[in-house]
């Protein structure tokens, strides 16, 4: 994997978020809450996110509250949102479309 540059600029993050519905910039991170059809669906979705994150070797904070799954992405080692976070958010969105359909 190529060397990760520093944090993305606010303009880069805003541009990326325009293509990521529901994702918001919050401090040094991007975050989104998914509202699923019950606890079992939330757990399945969290498992899917876990698989994507493990393949990317980049692990988001995952908060499960019954049917809601909140994801928070940022590169701790770079001090903010990087291309790596935005790539993972896009992968999560693609998986969400399949699981939420």
**45-78 pLDDT tens trace:** 999 999 999 999 999 999 999 999 999 999 988 9
Please say if the pLDDT value at position 3 is more than 50.
no
4 falls within a domain:
no
pLDDT at 101: 55
Q: Domain range for residue 33?
A: 10-100
How many domains does the chain contain in total?
A: 1
Asked whether the whole model's pTM tops 0.85, one would answer yes
On whether residue 42 sits in a domain, the answer given is yes
Rounded CA Rg of the chain: 13
- Alpha carbons 96 and 93: distance in angstroms, whole number: 5
38, 79, 77: which is closest to 58 by C-alpha?
Answer: 77
pLDDT in tens, 5-53: 777 888 999 999 999 999 999 999 999 999 999 999 999 999 999 999 9
Are 42 and 83 in contact by the 8 Å Cβ rule? The answer is no
Domain assignment of residue 1, yes or no: no
Q: Is residue 2 situated within a structural domain?
A: no
CATH of the domain at 88: 3.30.1360.20
């Amino acid at each position: 994997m190529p060397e990760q540059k520093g944090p993305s600029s606010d303009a880069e993050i805003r541009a990326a978020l325009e293509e990521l519905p529901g994702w918001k910039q919050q401090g040094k991170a991007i975050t989104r809450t998914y509202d699923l059809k019950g606890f079992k669906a939330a757990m399945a979705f969290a498992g899917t996110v876990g698989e994507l994150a493990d393949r990317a070797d980049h692990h988001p904070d995952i908060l499960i509250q019954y049917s809601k799954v909140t994801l928070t992405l940022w590169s701790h080692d770079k001090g903010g949102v990087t291309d790596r976070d935005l790539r993972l958010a896009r992968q999560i969105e693609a998986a969400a479309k399949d699981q939420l359909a």
